[in-house]
Each structure stands twice: as C-alpha cells, then as structure tokens.
Amino acid sequence: MNATASNAGPMRRRLASRRSGNGFTLLEMIMVLLITSMLISAVFGIVNAVTILTHDLTTSQQRESRTHAFVELCARSLRSLPADAMLRLRTRQDGGLYTTQLALADAPSPLSASAGPFTVLETEVTSEGYLRLVVRSIPEDQVLAWEMGESTVGTRLVLLENVRMLEWLVFNPTTLQWQTVWNERMPLTAMRELAKNANPGRPQGPQAPGADAPAPPPSIPQDVQEAVNALGRPQRPGLMELRFAIGNEAPQRWVFWVPARVAGGR
C-alpha cells in the first residue's frame, strides 16, 4: 500500500504537467488579442478610408453635374434672348461676400412657359457664410413691388447651395473693360414701355360716322421715359463672364456670347 501511494504522487504531477502543456499561457492569450485588435483596426481603417473616398468622389461628381447644369442654363438663357429683351446687372457687397442680381425682362423663363415676363438670377448670403443661388420669375403686376424691395413676390426656386463665389462681369466695348454692373439704374419696366410705344396696336382704318374717338395714349412717367430714351445707346453687352465656385473647389470661368439687341424688335 505504501508503494502504491508513493507512486501515485509522481503520476499526478506528470498528468498535471501534460494538461498544462496542451493549453495557452497568459502571455500567448495577450499576444493573440493584441494581433486580433490590430487586424480589426487595420480593416476598419481601410473601410473608413474607402467610405470617405467614395463620399468625396460622389460629392465631387454631384457638384460637377450641378455646375454643368447651371452653366448650360446660363448659356441657353443668354443665347436665346429675344431681340428686344433687356438685361440688367447689379453687384452689391454684403459683409465679405459679393451678391449679384442678373435681371432679364421679356425673356423666356427657365421655370415654365407660363411664368412671368421678368426673370432674376440672384444670390443670397446664408448663415453659414456661403451664397445661395435663386431664380425668380416675377409677373408684370408684381415687378414694381419687387423693385421697391419686396422679396416675397413671384415664383422663387433655389438652384444651388453652398456657393462660395458667383460673380458676373460684362464687357464694355466702349472702355474695353470688364465691369460688374450694367444698366444698374434702369427700371425693369422701361423695356416693356418702349415695346408698347413702338407697337401700340393694329393700325386704325377710317373712322365710321358716330363712332367714339380713340382714347389718347397713356402718359409715361418721367423716370421711365428717361430710361426709354437711354435705350438708344447699346443696352446689351456682347460678352458676359461668369466666375463660379462651389464649396472648397477652385473658381472656374466661363464666357458667354449675348446676341445684339434690336430696338422695336416686336
């Protein structure tokens, strides 16, 4: 019995040593966890980088698409100006940004064929420090209120957000200089008054006995008449330049041809 008991002790130690040799030590477990965490971090970093790159590429493509669409709209609007349409450009400084207002009278509206005869492309300063590009179509009975500063008239549509820079320049053939204003003080109704006077209606035949005498033409306000008289000078530039940038992109430049104005083209 004593011999058997003495042999049992060494046997238990050998079995315990064999069992401990088949498992992982604490250091090995720590190394496995460390390597696993490094692999997970590397995979997460790669996925995050690919996601950011995809987002930046998508954003860049969207900006390029919006820029291309806006430039096409400007080129089409300026190229298709009717013979007697009026163009007015105003530029103002608002804080550290410049806002522009390009107004077209008697020109096709980009909103719809039934929209008002006055179309305005204007920029507004947002709370984020960027510009918002807006197109507005104004009916004739509301244009005076809009000229007086009423900003809620007409149909308004936001075209672009986060615009960092949008500047219009017109080429003055007299001074051979690019300038930021054109017909700045001319009321939008001046061209329409000229068109009405140039084509007051169909010619009248001999008046029948007893018929009422035709009504005299309405008088024109003095400021409108002065603006109409000024239309004898060239009122549309031959070239217009657009400088434009969205977000952090570098500014781009386009030059548009504008057809010559023909007075009394109606």
Query: pTM score, two decimals?
Result: 0.64
Query: 32-77 pLDDT, tens per residue?
Result: 888 888 888 888 888 888 888 887 777 777 778 888 888 998 898 8
Residues in the chain with pLDDT < 50? 195, 198-213, 215-217, 231-234, 265-266
User: Residue 83 in 3-state DSSP?
Assistant: coil
What's the CA gap between 231 and 198, in Å, rounded? 12
Q: What pLDDT, on a 0 to 100 scale, did the predictor assign at position 133? A: 93
User: Residue 99 in 3-state DSSP?
Assistant: strand
What's the CA gap between 160 and 266, in Å, rounded? 34
Q: What pLDDT, on a 0 to 100 scale, did the predictor assign at position 22? A: 59
Dmax over CA atoms of the chain, in Å, equals 156
